[in-house]
Structure 1
Amino acid sequence: MEKLIRLSILALGIICQAILYAKEKAGEDVRIDKKETVFKVSDVDGFKVDGAKLLDRCGNEFVMRGVNLAYTWFKSSAYTQLEAINKYEANAVRIVLGDGAKFTADDAASVRKIIDKCKEYGMVAIVEVHDATGSDDINDLVKAANYFANMASVLKGTEHYVIINIANEWHKSSSAANWKNGYKQAIPVIRNAGLRHCIMVDAGGYGQNASTIHTYGKDVLAADVENNILFSIHMYGSAGNKKKIASNIDGVINQGLALCIGEFGWYHSDGDVDEQQILSYCKEKNVGWLAWSWYGNGNPVEYLDVVKDPSSDPVLSSYSNISINNWKNTKTWKASSDWGKTITDAWKAEAKKANLDKCETSDNNK
């Protein structure tokens, strides 16, 4: 029953994304700062941003090709899933954690264990708190930041293989100013704890409202004493066509801000997702991506699973002419995809491992 409740909560959060996107006003004015602002590059011995690039500890550009792992809800099979992800040659894993507000808090020992296993496999660990999903309350965001601050003794020294994604999809409303103000309060909590990691910041609007970054991304970056922020856009209903995908991405990187696609699927209840365009445009622009998600999506979004089972040798997902209802249950689409093969083939073709230990001069460190 507890598992079903967790799956239902996960499904509800994803459905809420669709509701929010459907309610957004068309043609909303977006302020994009065209001025060249030069931010000093952090000297941290770890991941850092340099303009629109994410660099590893050796100064090499790192482009994520990975997936989301629902760790906090599937602890019993998490390490088996991680083994399988490594076999398919991903170079990064975004790990779902709980801070105790909605989900059971993951303690420091368990966090250290999972991030060290990622490092053993040569995969970068992106740790994120899922409890603040969809909240507009800055206190919830600060609570998530404090969760990581309280783990400073465990996280210090992991800057070269861990990125801190403070909160998954915090902020659902259309107020970009509140999104900005929230992160201007939360980021110093991390820094005041002595953590110099690259920090990932999700866009507002359940991660899909890229205009929050377009408008206030530089303000958020300027609020960080390390100038070490990687922005993240989630692409579901907001990524239904080539023009929208390009404008969302270009509106960030053309300002000299670093970006990854922190979540995306191949279809959703608010319409089609052009996953092939996401993959091709990210490749063209050297933008990282993390598919949602490896395993464990509940009804009605189980079609987002990359694999059919949580084993070390899983069956890749393939969906043929399945029915997908919109969020109002007033329309049904038929859709097909070799989702699992699409994602894992892209890893094998494009994923290069970061330098997580020593620096090497080889051009191919895969």
Structure 2
Amino acid sequence: MVVAALVALALHSRPAPKGTATHATHKGLHVKGAQIVEGDGKPFVMRGISHPYAWYKAQSGVYADVKRLGANTLRVVLDGRVTAGEVADIIARCKANRLICVLEYHDTTGHGEQDGSVGLDEAADFWAGLRPVLQGQEDYVVVNLGNEPYGNTGAEAWTAATEAAIARLRAAGLGHLLMVDAPGWGQDWKGVMRGNAPAVFASDPRHNVAFSVHMYGVYDTAAKVTGYYDAFHRAGLPLVVGEFGWKHTDGAVDADAIMREAAARGIGYLGWSWSGNTGGVEYLDAATGFAADRLTQWGRRLFDGPDGIRATAREAEVYAAQAG
């Protein structure tokens, strides 16, 4: 999420959807029914937060800080200026702190509405160019294809654009778990991703796609939250709340329901964001000035509140296996 987007609008395993297939063997994080699982087949539920690396590259303490607070995942914001060397360093820092690393390409935010935003084809080029540093990291890295790839208009193009980008990544040799964001500034208020997720999943020859919804003002009641969760449960597809906050300029957010129902259903969630928000949405900072000992009200809710990160996160099994 970027400020322009904020202002503008701001566990039960089920069979794979009909017409899809599962692979006999997998390397790394992958989809099994409606779950994300690790290479050994054990479920992995994301619990973490986003770090705005692209804008705050010097804040290298974030990895250790969020791990100490209980997170098992860090979503790292990238843009087209980030180099392969930087991405290799980010992955290494996540691994050193025993975190699963969700790498997110941010330049797609609000495509069609936000000046300077690019399409998912450019996102595919970005990821293909990172193949040398991404290959071999399938146990540790999730590729978040493009942040909030459409605004409030043009969302009907999301399905074909997402399928084409997935095809290009697979053709480039990337077998990672892919996480795709919804249109509508990520909130999918028109139900485009919800309705077309089975087709997108089936289009991937590896059937290794998770779906990410961003929950802000559209999700102001428990009924709206559970309704969205239920749709993916019925479809037998994996869902992650890739961003959410405790309140928002575009309306109230039922963060309690988001977290409670995610915990009950084995759905991952990633709060927005660690620190550095500007333009009137500073209330979305979990830590004041990137300081882990200065958690905000939102940070205390996210990490230490009911159904929060500290209470519900489990470290990725791949790290426990290494320790053993």
**Is contact 2:220-2:252 (8 Å) kept?**
yes
- Percent sequence identity is 33
SS state at 1:295 partner: coil
* Aligned equivalent of 1:343: 302
Unaligned runs of 5+ in 1: 1-8, 19-34, 100-104, 319-338
Alignment of 1:109 onto 2:68: no
SS state at 1:111 partner: helix
Q: Which has the larger radius of gyration?
A: 1
Write the distance in 2 (CA, Å) between the matches of 1:305 and 1:41.
Answer: 40
* Aligned equivalent of 2:196: 216
How far apart are residue 175 of structure 1 and its match?
Answer: 5.0
* Aligned equivalent of 2:13: none
SS state at 1:289 partner: strand
Map 1:97-176 to 2 at 5 A: 97-99=78-80, 105-136=81-112, 140-173=119-152, 175-176=154-155
Alignment of 1:16 onto 2:8: yes
Q: Deviations over 1:98-142 (max 9, x none)?
A: 01xxxxx10001001111111111110000111110004996211
Residue from 45, 50, 53 that aligns with 2:27: 45
How far apart are residue 58 of structure 1 and its match?
Answer: 1.2
Write the distance in 2 (CA, Å) between the matches of 1:174 and 1:222.
Answer: 25
Write the distance in 2 (CA, Å) between the matches of 1:74 and 1:41.
Answer: 40
* Aligned equivalent of 2:39: 57
**Is contact 1:84-1:314 (8 Å) kept?**
no
* Aligned equivalent of 2:318: 356
Normalised by the size of structure 1, how large is the TM-score?
Answer: 0.81
**Is contact 2:75-2:104 (8 Å) kept?**
yes
Write the distance in 1 (CA, Å) between the matches of 2:141 and 2:286.
Answer: 23
The total of aligned residue pairs comes to: 311
Q: Deviations over 1:201-259 (max 9, x none)?
A: 01110110161222100110111110000000000011100110111111122100100
How far apart are residue 357 of structure 1 and its match?
Answer: 5.0
User: RMSD across aligned C-alpha pairs, in angstroms?
Assistant: 2.1
* Aligned equivalent of 1:197: 176
**Is contact 1:57-1:355 (8 Å) kept?**
no
SS state at 1:238 partner: coil
Alignment of 1:95 onto 2:76: yes
Residue from 213, 236, 261 that aligns with 2:216: 236
Unaligned runs of 5+ in 2: 11-15
Q: Deviations over 1:171-217 (max 9, x none)?
A: 12455541101011111111111110000001110110161222100
SS state at 1:159 partner: coil
Code of the aligned partner of 2:8 = C
* Aligned equivalent of 1:71: 53
Q: Deviations over 1:16-43 (max 9, x none)?
A: 233xxxxxxxxxxxxxxxx951532343
Query: Structure 1 residues 261 and 107, CA, compared in 2 at 3 Å: closer, same or farther?
Result: same
* Aligned equivalent of 1:225: 205
How far apart are residue 143 of structure 1 and its match?
Answer: 0.6
Normalised by the size of structure 2, how large is the TM-score?
Answer: 0.91
Write the distance in 2 (CA, Å) between the matches of 1:238 and 1:39.
Answer: 31
SS state at 1:62 partner: coil
SS state at 2:288 partner: coil
**Is contact 1:176-1:216 (8 Å) kept?**
no
